Chain A
Amino acid sequence: MQRFILSKKNQITLVSGILIVIGFASELIFKNEAVAVAALVIASIIGVVPIAIQAYQALRVKVVSIDVLVTIAVVGAFFIKNFEESAIVTFLFLFGAYLEQRTLNKTRSAIKELTEMAPESALKLMENGEFEEVEVDEVDVGDVLLVKTGAKIPVDGTVLTGEGSINEASITGESLPVSKEQGSNVFAGTILDNGTIQIVADRVGEDTTFGKIIELVEEAQDSKSEAERFIDRFSKYYTPAVLVLGIIVWLVSRDIELAITILVLGCPGALVIGVPVSNVAGIGNGARHGILLKGSEVIGDFSRVETMVFDKTGTLTVGNPAVVDKKYFGDQIEEALGFLASVERESDHPLGKAILTDIGETTFSPVENTEVIKGGGIKASVNQHSVAVGNVALMEKEGVPLNEEARAAIAEFENQGNSLVLTAVDGELKILMGVRDQIRPGVKEDLAKLRKLGVKNLVMLSGDNQRTVDVVSKELGLTEAHGNMLPEDKSAYIKKLIDAGQIVAFVGDGVNDSPSLALANIGIAMGSGTDVAIETSDVVLMNSDFSRLPHALGLAKATARNMKQNILIAVGVVLFLLAGVFFSEWMNMSIGMLVHEASILVVILNGMRLLRYKLR
């Protein structure tokens, strides 16, 4: 019975609303007092029933909820025969709850879209050799699954047979399909655009990358900041306190009307709901833009960040060194390039890969008598030619003459922050290459946006030598840049900044920066979503997309602002109403309830603005 009534709450609201209109119409237009009273009495009674049921359920578990206050107030109004008030208050309360539900669903929509992308079923290979559709919960590690075109990959796994292209936007934010073949890894929640594949399950359910992301976002939207926990504690005692206040007022003044007005005005409505709606809308906006913000505490800290510390390699720079400058000397360059490629093909030096990529197709020749000169380079003989590949020191040691032109080029390349690779054939300099890790496109503009958002210091830390670091720093216009830093030096540096009282964010790829990520006030991981970084950090930029960083900071600031506005609105409304009760003539229950419900809607709508937030 109780459940039936509660499930018909919307219809009850509607009927009660119609009755109130009938009541007022018959009183004001038809001057029919009897019909008016009857209509309002019925409206009050049917309206108060669902509220009273909720109040009763709350009291049973020892909670003095708003329902309790409203029920007592309505009964009180009934008792002093103020049926207009009792009818309007119940209607407004019910109608307000209905609107709250509708608008709240909107604020939660962004996160819901994400969680609904979770796969639900899978085609599993059964013992009889046939594939059968099962719920995704029933898939275990090691099961073989069939995925057809257009279907979602149900678990994290490895492709056994078949090939296809997969849209991994749900994991990486990258919408270009990635082609997969035997042995490729596939991720739960991504979509097979075309092809048919069989996969073996490696991780299932909450252990999958997608499962982790969902869990993280779900926890984030409900994680509470210190201020929120305070509001929660406060409201636990606030509602009973309002009840006590109402009773005291009644005992002292013997004025039931005043007492029940206080009960209605004291409802805490907007205060408890204000911060959670900002939080869920802000985090939802982030999730849509490939930014995971881990809860309102993080949002608060992030919004006040003063210093941002960046790892260089892989964060500000692309992470793959490439040949960016080169100069040839003399003739037979084609042959020299072939020799260089042949030598580099056999070395595992990190610059070697960049050089091979740059040279591309060439004629490889057998390499003999290879000799690695420590701190210099490589000497070898290729096709009866002696070949030396390495730095300037090696050339000087080998007696390779460097003319004016070569020396000028070397100086210029070095000034640009390049590592130099010189190639000499038979004691004659042929090729000079400058290899360098390039700055990510757009980083400079993004850093400018961060400054505009109020970040005072932009600091870069790197394991590279100071000269390379200085070049990058100068190009990007950073506040400070330090080279030759080991991971522990980086975290020590961050600790120093925090001890000096700064609010510090660290941005890194999370591979070897976990200590710094954990130590900084806000750890921001540039991860494709697969790393431990997700767990240690406070903010994750999906798909390592640096350009999301300004949006993330702007969003955090907007969300923190939004929370403050909502608290201000809520507290302001309560103060306004209380002042109205004591200092004015016109304040009554209905106006109080109207203002309350309106304030709740205002904070929800205010929170909803965050869903559309964009960095200008």
Chain B
Amino acid sequence: MKKATIQLDTLTCPSCVLKIENAVKAMNHVEKDSVSVMFNSSKVKFDFDDEKLAVADVEKAITALGYDVKKTQVK
């Protein structure tokens, strides 16, 4: 299990938060309860199984929703 923090471009609508949250939760090997999308700091935090899922795939899912990923940290 690793912890990822993805910094997004500024989030401006609270409904974006729900969209991103659902999209990340829908991915396999992501710990569902750990997903938190922070509106004001425009960050997504979640735990995932790094052996079965590449963080780049999560980034792709978020980008597909129309939100730019600025920086990703995994540890």
Bin chain A's interface residue count. 20 to 34
Shortest beta-carbon distance from B45 to chain A in Å:
10
Residues of A within 8 A of B40 (CB): 108, 111, 221-222, 276, 279-280
CB pair B19–A57 under 8 Å, yes or no, is: yes
Given known A-B contacts A276-B40, A279-B40, A280-B40, A61 and B26 have beta carbons under 8 A apart: yes
**Main SS of chain B's interface residues?**
mixed
Within 8 A of B (CB), among A400-429: none
Is A156 engaged at the interface, CB distance under 8 Å to the other chain?
A: no
A208 to B64 CA separation, bound complex (whole angstroms): 35
User: Which of B15, B22, B43, B73 is close to A67, meaning CB atoms less than 8 Å apart?
Assistant: B15
Shortest beta-carbon distance from B21 to chain A in Å:
9
CB pair B15–A272 under 8 Å, yes or no, is: yes
A224 to B38 CA separation, bound complex (whole angstroms): 10
CB pair A61–B22 under 8 Å, yes or no, is: yes
Within 8 A of B (CB), among A107-144: 108, 111, 137
User: Which of B63, B64, B66 is close to A54, meaning CB atoms less than 8 Å apart?
Assistant: B66
Given known A-B contacts A97-B12, A105-B10, A276 and B39 have beta carbons under 8 A apart: yes
CB pair B66–A272 under 8 Å, yes or no, is: no
Shortest beta-carbon distance from B7 to chain A in Å:
10
Given known A-B contacts A218-B38, A221-B40, A280-B40, A2 and B14 have beta carbons under 8 A apart: no
A239 to B13 CA separation, bound complex (whole angstroms): 14
Is A65 engaged at the interface, CB distance under 8 Å to the other chain?
A: yes
A235 to B16 CA separation, bound complex (whole angstroms): 13
Residues of A within 8 A of B13 (CB): 66, 97, 100, 273
Interface centre among B22, B40, B65 (most CB of A within 10 A): B40
Within 8 A of A (CB), among B32-68: 38-41, 43, 63-66
A556 to B19 CA separation, bound complex (whole angstroms): 31
Is B1 engaged at the interface, CB distance under 8 Å to the other chain?
A: no
CB pair A58–B15 under 8 Å, yes or no, is: yes
CB pair A57–B43 under 8 Å, yes or no, is: no
Q: Which residue of B lies closest to A115 (CB)?
A: B41
Shortest beta-carbon distance from B53 to chain A in Å:
17
CB pair B39–A61 under 8 Å, yes or no, is: no
A276 to B38 CA separation, bound complex (whole angstroms): 11
Given known A-B contacts A2-B66, A53-B66, A97-B13, A58 and B41 have beta carbons under 8 A apart: no
Shortest beta-carbon distance from A111 to chain B in Å:
7
A97 to B40 CA separation, bound complex (whole angstroms): 16
Q: Mind listing 26 A-B residue pairs with CB under 8 Å?
A: A2-B66, A3-B63, A57-B65, A57-B66, A58-B15, A61-B19, A61-B22, A61-B26, A62-B22, A63-B18, A63-B22, A65-B18, A65-B19, A97-B12, A100-B12, A101-B10, A105-B10, A108-B10, A222-B38, A222-B40, A272-B14, A272-B15, A273-B13, A276-B14, A279-B40, A280-B40
B residues neighboring A (CB under 8 Å) = 10, 12-15, 18-19, 22-23, 26, 38-41, 43, 63-66, 73
